[in-house]
Amino acid sequence: MNPRETYQAFPLKVHLTAIVNRLRATALVALALICSAFAGGPGGESASHVVPKTQAIEVKEMVQGIEIVDPYRWLEDQESPQTRAWIAEQNAYTDSWLNALPGREKLKEQLAALIKPDFLNTPIMRNGRYFFFRRKAGQDLSIIYLRKGLQGRDEVLVDPHSMSADHSVSLQINDTSLDGSLLVYSTRQGGEDELVPHILDVDKRTELADDFPRARYGRICLLPGKSAMYFSRMTREGPRLYLHKLGQDPAKDEEVFGKGYGSDKQIGCELTEDGKYLLLAVDYGSSDIRSDVFVENLTEKGPITPLVNDIAAFFQPIWGGHKIYMRTNWKAPKWRIVEVNLENPAPEHWREVIPESDAVLENFNLAGGKIAAHYTQNVVSQVKIFNTEGKLLREVKPPALGNLGGLFGRWSSSETFYAFSSFNAPPTIYRYDVATGKQSVWSKRKIPIDPNKFEVKQVWYPSKDGTKIPMFLAHAKGLKLDGTNPTLLTGYGGFNVSSAPNFSALAAAWMANGGVYALANLRGGGEFGEAWHHAGMLGKKQNVFDDFIAAAEWLIAGKYTNPNRLAIYGGSNGGLLVGAAITQRPELFAAAICRYPLLDMVRYQKFLVAKYWVDEYGSSDNAEQLKYILSYSPYQHVKTGTKYPAVFFITGDSDTRVAPLHARKMTALMQASTGSDKPIMIRYETKTGHSSGGLPVTLQIDNMAEELSFLMWQLGMKTSN
């Protein structure tokens, strides 16, 4: 999903136990693995690859006057002994296929070369101190470091390696004090979205005794006096803002805002640098349809006053001194920026600083008294620097076709940082001065990939209704268009999220082994503003699937590939995309990987945080919305006897965002229904989840090698030397 679909306002295993569990589950089939690695051909079933039989217990219910039949409702109970036994049996079945595939170790070597090299992320600068994550080549997890001054040495602040024997605990930076003497960071278990905040005295290298509960936290804001902090946290009733006094038991924290807001809302906060004003933003759902904005004068202990609470539009507010600058789609489907003066804060007094243009204003930041606006023009990134009068000062353009991240900095400092990467170009982070335009390299990943050996280009193709859709292609130079190239197609198409050609170890390894990598910019995303987004949501969601299917047809017609050499890949909302594609046009694809997916759209809103997505998808609780949801919901469109492609579902217990029950139920249904001899399988881990950024490197390599080996097996590929 997008960053707003979790309760973290600012984003972001086969561990030892899981390995033992998997070995136990596969012990009974180990001998058969040795004897029959490829019995039955690519995808064919043999005696040693018997599909587990899942008991079908039909549950019938009337939903908005329509009878819904669900044969695997019992698999929704994640903790029942029956479900746990099913998981173990399914993992054993998956191992019976994948553990025997040749080339896995070679793939691990290739991926290790792409993933293991030193990693350094974009830093946070406070009072001449730089806080950042770094992971050295021999390490499994990213460590929080401090550097005092640009030329200072890197000092370890928080090392997560000792926090768990299986390296399942990772870190997240939440905030730092203005003088850089306090750091608020969080720990995350596995891949779940829940966090546990901690407060570190940077100079003493000791943690404060404040003991926070595990929960879904939003933005955390330290007050300048370092005596307290504001934070938002999701409760059973909905999001709430709290004031926490440092050293106090968090159970005594004062709830200061949020009463009446339900679980389909999120609350974010931001303080002025002097701590005089508190800014609050309440997002309605995850589709940029509405947000409310409030301000409180903390110095005068004034009331929390609404700035915006009756406009059906989205507002992204940021402090610039004591003025507020807001990016909004109000009267601007491609977005604009307005300035709010607190002396005259009513909308009729707002000043438009940067008007809407033909490019999409994706994001913005404030630094050094300037506005850094991140645009995409036909899905190509650029950053423009404006003064507060809206005058264009200069542009930051990407060095090649790729993704240019926004500039991150502070209002009181001209120092900012941004990143660039592409499918064939590993991330490089630049330090940029908004006052002078001078820049230097902060960090560059030394990954053994030669950009000159690969080509990255943008093409356009017609969708079913004639709409022109852009798509990025990446492959080795000199590719022959003979219809035989193994091709991996991916996309997202939702939540106003734009898909850009970022560096990906999976994509790089795929290309290195002779594959074509394709990223389609589907409707539902933010590539062309709100009109593009709305053309792929709610009752128009089918447009997203049509765009994706049309991309596959274009690749085949253009002689890039053929259905026997074409695979698709997607996760979360992209997992829904894959599920819809294989149920609507199964003959187009040889294989599919469906990660952490939404698939039973009739019931999705009943689980975890899914109510937050109703504005994007609709809900079966609404009779009219159920009609179009039923027209595409993958789980309800599996047909007995259909020759489905090979499908690999991936999920795990620690996915606390998209309920793993979707993948469990869909696996069982497709295994019972498919008319082909291609395998339908699931990898179900106990410690992995939706938030994959903190996974240990060894697990990232293992997981990616497994996914690639599955795809290469089904497409008849061999690993390159």
Beta-carbon-side half-sphere exposure of residue 454 (alpha carbons within 13 Å): 28
> Residues 454, 470: one domain?
yes
> Residues 377, 509: one domain?
no
> Residues 659, 646: one domain?
yes
- Tally of domains within the chain: 2
pLDDT of residue 690: 75
> Residues 609, 658: one domain?
yes
> Residues 543, 592: one domain?
yes
Give CA–CA dist 538/548, Å, rounded.
Answer: 17
In a domain, 11, yes or no: yes
Among residues 536, 458, 525, the alpha carbon closest in space to that of 497 is found at 525
Active site residue 572: yes
List 306's β-bridge partners, or say none: 294
In a domain, 230, yes or no: no
> Residues 441, 462: one domain?
no
- Is the pTM for the entire model greater than 0.85? yes
- Answer for the pair 637, 584: CB distance below 8 angstroms, yes or no: yes
In a domain, 344, yes or no: no
What is the per-residue pLDDT across 476-491, written as a single tens digit (0 to 9) for each?
999 999 999 999 999 9
Q: Which of 445, 462, 481 is the last residue of a domain?
A: 445
What is the per-residue pLDDT across 429-455, written as a single tens digit (0 to 9) for each?
999 999 999 999 999 999 999 999 999
Length of the chain: 721
In a domain, 298, yes or no: no
In a domain, 517, yes or no: yes
Long-range contacts of 406-409 (CB under 8 A, 24+ apart): 406/362, 406/363, 406/364, 406/365, 406/372, 406/374, 407/365, 407/367, 407/372, 407/374, 407/383, 407/432, 407/434, 408/122, 408/365, 408/367, 409/125, 409/365, 409/366, 409/367, 409/368, 409/372, 409/434
Beta-carbon-side half-sphere exposure of residue 672 (alpha carbons within 13 Å): 15
- CA 238 to mean position of chain CA atoms: 23
**Looking at residue 504, which CATH number applies to its domain?**
3.40.50.1820
> Residues 459, 566: one domain?
yes
Residue keyed to tokens 């941004």: 418
Active site residue 161: no
* Confidence check: pLDDT of 28 > 70: no
pLDDT of residue 37: 33
What the block records as the tokens of 172 is 């997240």
pLDDT class for 397, splitting at 50, 70, 90?
confident
Give CA–CA dist 585/547, Å, rounded.
Answer: 12
- Please identify which of the residues 690, 691, 692, 709 carries the catalytic annotation: 690
List 91's β-bridge partners, or say none: none
For the chain, what is the mean pLDDT?
A: 92
What is the per-residue pLDDT across 75-125, written as a single tens digit (0 to 9) for each?
999 999 999 999 999 999 999 999 989 999 999 999 999 999 999 999 999
pLDDT of residue 235: 96
> Residues 514, 551: one domain?
yes
Helix, strand, coil percent content, the chain, rounded in steps of 5: 25, 35, 40
Give CA–CA dist 512/528, Å, rounded.
Answer: 32
Percent of the chain with pLDDT over 90: 89
Q: Which of 445, 468, 486 is the last residue of a domain?
A: 445
List 593's β-bridge partners, or say none: 569, 648
Rounded to 10 degrees, the C-alpha dihedral 296/302/303/307 comes to -40
* Confidence check: pLDDT of 5 > 80: no
Q: Find the domain containing 581 and state its range.
A: 3-112+450-715
What is the per-residue pLDDT across 619-628, written as a single tens digit (0 to 9) for each?
999 999 999 9
Q: Which of 390, 412, 445 is the last residue of a domain?
A: 445
Give CA–CA dist 534/229, Å, rounded.
Answer: 37
* Confidence check: pLDDT of 346 > 50: yes
In a domain, 321, yes or no: no
What is the per-residue pLDDT across 40-61, written as a single tens digit (0 to 9) for each?
344 544 446 899 999 999 999 9
- Please identify which of the residues 572, 619, 620, 691 carries the catalytic annotation: 572
CB atoms within 10 A of CB 277: 19
- Answer for the pair 77, 83: CB distance below 8 angstroms, yes or no: yes
3 state SS for 497-537: CCCCCCCCHHHHHHHHCCCEEEEECCCCCCCCCHHHHHCCC
pLDDT of residue 34: 30
pLDDT of residue 363: 96
H or E element that contains 713: helix 697-715
> Residues 405, 553: one domain?
no
> Residues 408, 533: one domain?
no
* Confidence check: pLDDT of 38 > 90: no
